[in-house]
Amino acid sequence: MGGILSTILDVEKESGVSKSTISRFLHGNSVTDENRVKIEQAIKKLHYKMNPIASGLKSSKTFTVGAVIPDITDSFFPPIIKEFERCMSENGYNVILSDYGNDADREIKQLEMLSDKKVDGLVVATSNTKGDHIRACLNENLPVILLDRLFPDLDCDSITVDNFSATYEAVCECIKLGHTNIGAVYGHFYTDGERIRGLQKAMKDNGLKPDPDKMLKLQLMEEAPEESIAKLLDMKDAPTLLFCSNVYLGIGALKVRLQRNLNIPNDISVLVFDDIATFPNHDYISYIKPEFSNITQPLTEIGKYAAELLLERVKNPHRKYEAVNIELKTRFKLTGSVAKLIKT
């Protein structure tokens, strides 16, 4: 056992069937029953397993795809990657994980490296604001699925969520509850922009004027959100509702709340885009009452649709296709963290 591994040539000799026929059989093409039996017996006897490297050399398919993400320790990604990997491996594909550590240049390098490595496809959660590196892959006929991002001038498949409309709807609900003085903290990513746009549209459509002094944009990873949130809280004309456009900001709000021992929603109402407790082993957060009202992204679904779309692309390597954007629905959960300011 172990050591000598047999090749298709050994199977040819053992079975008396030519290796082309064996190869065809191995790829699911039909052969005569007689040959099938001979081949199967020989394979079993020799413990033959196809060498995927040799196979890939001619066919230039590696049955390997890359998943390129900014940070696997960001709780957003593991559920996505988990489901993505599950679907891909169910279909015989392996997933190379590439964590570029939020370094936009490193992301570009990794994409190139994976392309050189001849992966069959890529899913990427990009931190770059330009899509040239993505375009380079596409040009080399390497399918890419973008996660959570859209480039206006790039014809690339993508999976996103309804950032704009979900925020719009959620904020409308809050306005119905009587909130007219709304503050927000938001980040510098595409998704933050969409969400804040939804918030502003909701205000305008309800006859309110967003106050620029109460919409604080921060460079995530550089500025701690606590300060900005505190600033909002300490205004003479402090907002009655705080919108946090992503989970970091929501966690910032949670920290401020715990630090100052705030009463939510009496001191301030809170609405967060994203779920703070995305990890199974962080569900204890639900015991800290009231939970923040939030807009939850379907992380597992994102992974699933990314896999399905990518599989479609890699299985039909030569078919020309129109890029599609799959926009998934979020779920809005209104909790006691948003006060009812008027009787309804």
Partner DNA sequence: CTGTTAGCGCTTTCAG
Partner DNA sequence: CTGAAAGCGCTAACAG
Task: Report the site for a second copy in 5-64 (rule: CB under 8 A).
Answer: 49, 51-54, 56-57, 60, 62, 64
Q: Is 129 in the site for DNA (CB under 7 A)?
A: no
Least gap, CB of 88 to DNA (angstroms): 19
Least gap, CB of 70 to a second copy (angstroms): 11
Q: What is the rounded distance in angstroms from the CA atom of residue 91 to the CA atom of residue 208?
A: 51
Task: Report the site for DNA in 57-96 (rule: CB under 7 A).
Answer: 57-59
Query: DSSP strand E in the chain: where?
Result: 64-69, 94-99, 121-124, 144-147, 157-161, 182-186, 215-217, 241-244, 269-273, 293-296, 325-328, 331-333
* For the chain, counts of helices (H) and of strands (E): 12, 12
Q: Is 219 in the site for a second copy (CB under 8 A)?
A: no
Phi/psi of residue 215, each to 5°? Answer: -110, 95
Q: In sequence order, what are the beta bridge partners of 147?
A: 159
Q: Could you tell me which of 74, 86, 94 has the C-alpha nearest to residue 148? A: 74
Q: What is the rounded distance in angstroms from the CA atom of residue 143 to the CA atom of residue 139?
A: 9
Stretch that binds a second copy, among 10-18, 89-97, 123-131, 185-193 (CB under 8 A): 89-97
Q: Is 51 in the site for DNA (CB under 7 A)?
A: yes
Q: Which partner, DNA, a second copy, none, binds residue 21 by CB below 5 to 8 Å per kind? A: DNA
Q: Kindly tell me which of 9 and 258 has the beta carbon lying closer to DNA.
A: 9
268-269-272 Cα angle (round to 5): 125
SS3 of the chain: helix, strand, coil, percent, to 5: 45, 15, 40
Residues 243, 274 contacting (CB under 8 angstroms): no
Stretch that binds DNA, among 49-57, 78-86, 118-126, 151-159 (CB under 7 A): 49-57
Q: Which partner, DNA, a second copy, none, binds residue 29 by CB below 5 to 8 Å per kind? A: DNA
Which residue of 12, 99, 107, 291 would you call a contact of a second copy, by CB under 8 A? 99
What would the two tokens of residue 34 be?
């007689």
Which residue of 37, 258, 324, 334 would you call a contact of a second copy, by CB under 8 A? 258
The per-residue DSSP string of 134-201 comes to: HHHHHHTT--EEEES---TT---EEEEE-HHHHHHHHHHHHHHTT--SEEEEE-SSHHHHHHHHHHHH
Q: Is 282 in the site for a second copy (CB under 8 A)?
A: yes
Which residue of 13, 117, 130, 331 would you call a contact of a second copy, by CB under 8 A? 117
Binding mask 13-42 for DNA (x = CB under 7 A): ---xxxxxx-xxxxx-xxxx-xx-------
Which residue of 29, 139, 219, 266 would you call a contact of a second copy, by CB under 8 A? 139
Q: Is 44 in the site for DNA (CB under 7 A)?
A: no
> What does each C-alpha distance from 185 to 47, 55, 128, 153, 220 come to in angstroms?
61, 53, 22, 28, 11
Contact positions toward a second copy, by CB under 8 A? 1-3, 49, 51-54, 56-57, 60, 62, 64, 67, 71-75, 78-79, 81-82, 85-86, 89, 94-99, 101, 110, 113-114, 116-118, 136, 139-141, 247-248, 251, 254-255, 258-259, 279-284, 287-288
Interface contacts to DNA, rule CB under 7 A: 5, 7-9, 16-21, 23-27, 29-32, 34-35, 48, 50-51, 54-55, 57-59
